[in-house]
A and B are shown apart, each in its own frame.
Chain A
Amino acid sequence: MQMALVIDAGKCTGCKQCELACSYVKEGEFNPAKSRIRVFDFHQDARFVPYTCTQCDEAWCQQACPVNAITTNERGVKEVHDSLCVGCKVCTIACPFGTVNYNASTGKVIKCDECGGDPACVKACPTEAIVFMDVEQAGFDKMRQWAAKTDNAASAGQ
């Protein structure tokens, strides 16, 4: 069983509690700009889309890191090791989803690490738009399809 963040944008009300929870847990401050998850607003459609790293299999960020500072943990999550990251930012341009970001105040990059298996965004979400569940269950397929659109080279030969 592999647990993953599964996002159902249809349930998102745009309250952005996830952004606050994320930045507080990861950075110790309520600052959406430092959140690893971002909610995009599409007001005219009344749609809100929470957006974060999908932990791709052959991760572009990990492959592009010149100093091996991004590794895959036992849960398949790509983790940035601050002690090794030199802040070169190559991962931020290599990730076609734009979910690795540079944090100028630390000189390192940040990305979702699913809070070590207990994601703060999930706990903060009042409508279950973000859930943490077994990836084999329905819902993940949609994410997979989305990921596959930009992941053609990475999935080739698998």
Chain B
Amino acid sequence: MHHVILGAGPAGVIAADTLRKQDAEAQITLISGEPEPPYSRMAIPYLLSGQIDEEGTYLRQDQGHYRNQGIDVVHARAGGVDSENKNLALEDGTELSYDRLLIATGASPIRPSVEGLNLPGVHSCWTLADAREILDRALKGDDVVLMGAGFIGSIILEALVSRGVNLTVVEMGDRMVPRMMDETAGAMLQRWCESKGVNVLTGTQIREIDRGKNRVDVELSSGKSIPAKLVVVAAGVAPNISFLEASGIKTGQGVTVNGFLRTSAKDVYAAGDVAQGKDMSTGAFSVLAIQPVAADHGRIAALNMAGYQTPHEGSLNMNVLDTIGLVSSSFGAWEGVKGGDNTRMSDEHAYRYLRLEFDGDRLAGAQAVGLTDHIGIARGLIQTGLRLGRWKDILMKSPERLAEAYVATAQGISTP
């Protein structure tokens, strides 16, 4: 049995390890599209802030891990898939036959149609190669413009601040992290960042970037122009599916999969940022490009590849963000569900906020700013659909008692 895993991010590496755990004999090939050992993009901000070196980003810290596990790591990029003949073509012209294939090619940064994005000094922050460029260019006191204050942009924001640059963030949405948190939370984050010396421009677009002398000039929709030594583009990501165009493998937003993470082609699976898997909040199939989903997908796809029928019950959208020391998180249907109740607790001065969304007496979504204790319980409650009964009424008045509500419900303590 030859398992070929295309992509060496978290989904691919977890799949490889899971396959080895299930089958000591199988041949496992892990194909990485980048020259470094498999690493975590999520760790790049911590590389930029100097907390770790490049080795610290590696997904497996033991240098001999892949060799010891009998996982062949190949550095190549995919050219195409012939699922009839179970053949994978690589860009370097070589071909690889497989028995089971996992597509875990991840995503790539979107390049918005803004003139000047190809100028020197304009970079995405996605790969270790990007990180090296940013490390070279973002030095103390340098003028840096960050395009995008979504989740990824906001994580990069903290890393750039830690480098001591003079930072301006330009977000076209009406607030920071508009797809992760509501207006109250977004405004709180913005106020916090501004109090830390970051210039945050929401509701603003970058019109174009012009070449200046040893710098670029960033032209804004407001008419203003900002000089910058470095522009970091964080305008979202899109699944890497273009190599599948001629394969006949069905794609939509990402690679289409069923409830077992199988694609439309026999013995071909997909996982992680590239896969359009089930979202348990909506019941729909959509791309949820986050680390915990990649981890779940990788493991479940591998179990199915190894012959253990394992349904993927659906993933929960969730994010956690640290913006210069202010920690925020959101889970599931944080914007609420139709006909559901919600409750909010907010302390503007203390930078604390908690909003809970219910579907009947079940928790459907949550967001939190400045509150971290036992926060994973939000996931537990949403995912299990535990009926809160009378505890829902308590939470409506005192949302901060979420952890208590969970423990009480799970332990069968019903009296408030």
Binds A, one of B67-75, B133-141, B223-231, B368-376: B368-376
Are B313's CB and A96's CB within 8 A?
A: no
Within 8 A of B (CB), among A117-158: 146, 149-150, 152-153, 156-157
A100 interface contact, C-beta 8 A: yes
Taking the complex as formed, is A63 at the interface, i.e. its CB lies under 8 A from any CB of chain B? yes
What 0/1 readout, one digit per residue, does chain B (302-330) give for beta carbons within 8 Å of chain A? 01000011111100001110100101010
How distant is the Cα of A150 from the Cα of B363 in the complex, in angstroms? 14
Chain B residues near A64: list those with CB within 8 A.
291-292, 295
A1 lies within 8 A of chain B by Cβ: no
Task: Say yes or no: A93-B331 contact (C-beta < 8 A), given A66-B59, A157-B308.
Answer: yes
Whether A93 contacts B43 in the complex (CB less than 8 A), given A44-B416, A101-B373, comes out as no
Nearest CB on B from A156, distance (A): 5
| Cα A87 to Cα B324 with chains together (Å) | 12
Q: Does A20 contact B (CB under 8 A)?
A: no
Known: A40-B403, A86-B52. A101 touches B292 (CB 8 A): no
Would A157 and B303 be within 8 Å (CB), given that A45-B415, A47-B413, A93-B376 are in contact?
Answer: yes
Q: List 18 A-B contacts (CB under 8 A).
A: A40-B407, A42-B404, A49-B411, A63-B295, A63-B296, A66-B291, A67-B52, A88-B46, A89-B372, A90-B292, A92-B320, A93-B319, A93-B379, A98-B373, A99-B374, A102-B327, A146-B410, A150-B383
Tell me the residues in window 87-118 of chain A with beta carbons closer than 8 Å to chain B beta carbons. Answer: 87-90, 92-102, 104
Asked if residues B59 and A67 are in contact (CB atoms below 8 Å), the reply is yes
> Is A31 part of the binding interface, using a Cβ–Cβ cutoff of 8 Å?
no
CB-CB under 8 A from A93, the residues of chain B are 292, 318-320, 329, 331, 375-376, 378-379
What residues of B have a CB within 8 angstroms of the CB of A153 in the complex? Answer: 296, 300, 312-313
Q: From known contacts A49-B411, A98-B376, A100-B376, infer whether A156 and B310 are also in contact, taking CB-CB under 8 Å.
A: yes
A51 interface residue per 8 A CB criterion: yes
Is there a chain A Cβ closer than 8 Å to B56's Cβ?
Answer: yes
CB of B384 closer than 8 Å to a CB of A: yes
CB distance from A123 to the nearest CB of B (A): 24
The answer to whether B56 touches A86, judged by C-beta atoms less than 8 angstroms apart, is: yes
Per-position 1/0 for A33-47, Cβ under 8 A of B: 100001010101101
Closest 7 CB pairs of A and B: A96-B380, A98-B374, A98-B377, A66-B40, A157-B310, A95-B376, A98-B376
Residues of the A chain whose Cβ atoms lie less than 8 Å from the Cβ of B310 = 156-157
Q: A66-B291, A89-B327, A93-B331 are in contact. Are A51 and B56 (CB under 8 A)?
A: no
Cβ B320 vs Cβ A90 within 8 A: yes
A9 at the interface (CB under 8 A from B): yes
Starting from the known contacts A68-B60, A90-B291, A99-B374, 17 additional A-B residue pairs (CB-CB under 8 Å) come to A40-B404, A40-B408, A44-B416, A64-B295, A66-B291, A67-B57, A88-B42, A89-B322, A92-B320, A93-B320, A98-B380, A101-B373, A102-B372, A149-B384, A150-B380, A157-B309, A157-B310
Q: Are B380 and A51 in contact (CB under 8 A)?
A: no
Bound-state Cα–Cα, A100 to B380, Å: 13
* Chain A residues within an 8 Å CB radius of B221: none
A15 at the interface (CB under 8 A from B): no
Task: Give the residues from 381 to 416 in chain B that come closer than 8 angstroms, CB to CB, to chain A.
Answer: 383-384, 386, 403-404, 406-408, 410-411, 413, 415-416
Number of chain A residues close to chain B: CB under 8 A: 42
Interface residues of B in 328-376 (CB under 8 A from A): 329, 331, 372-376
Residues of A within 8 A of B52 (CB): 67, 86
Please name all residues of chain A whose beta carbon is closer than 8 Å to the beta carbon of B410 when the two chains form the complex: 146, 149
Q: Are B42 and A66 in contact (CB under 8 A)?
A: yes
Instruction: Report the Cα distance A47→B404, complex, angstroms.
Output: 12
Distance to closest chain B CB from A57 (angstroms): 12
CB <8 Å contact, A45 and B320: no
Q: Is A84 an interface residue (CB 8 A)?
A: yes
> Is the beta-carbon distance between B327 and A88 smaller than 8 angstroms?
no
- Is A96 a contact partner of B383 (Cβ separation < 8 A)? yes
Chain A residues positioned under 8 Å from B42 (CB to CB): 66-67, 88, 90
CB distance from B408 to the nearest CB of A (A): 6
Tell me whether A156 and B60 are in contact (CB under 8 A).
no
B299 contacts the other chain (CB 8 A): yes
Name B219-275 residues within 8 Å CB distance of A. none
Bound Cα distance A149, B384 (Å): 7
| B282 contacts A by Cβ under 8 Å | no
- Docked pose: A9 CA to B373 CA in angstroms: 21
> Is there an interface contact between A88 and B377, defined as CB atoms closer than 8 Å?
no
Give chain A residues whose Cβ lies under 8 Å from the Cβ of B46.
86-88
A156 and B320 alpha carbons, distance in the complex (Å): 26
**Could you tell me the distance between the alpha carbons of A146 and B411 in the complex, rounded to whole angstroms?**
8
B94 contacts A by Cβ under 8 Å: no
Nearest-neighbour CB distance to chain A for B32, whole angstroms, equals 16
Q: How far is the CA of A66 from the CA of B291 in the complex (A)?
A: 7
Q: Give a binary string over A62-92; 1 marks a CB under 8 Å from any B CB, 0 the rest.
A: 0110111000000000000000101111101
Is A29 close to B, CB under 8 A? Answer: no
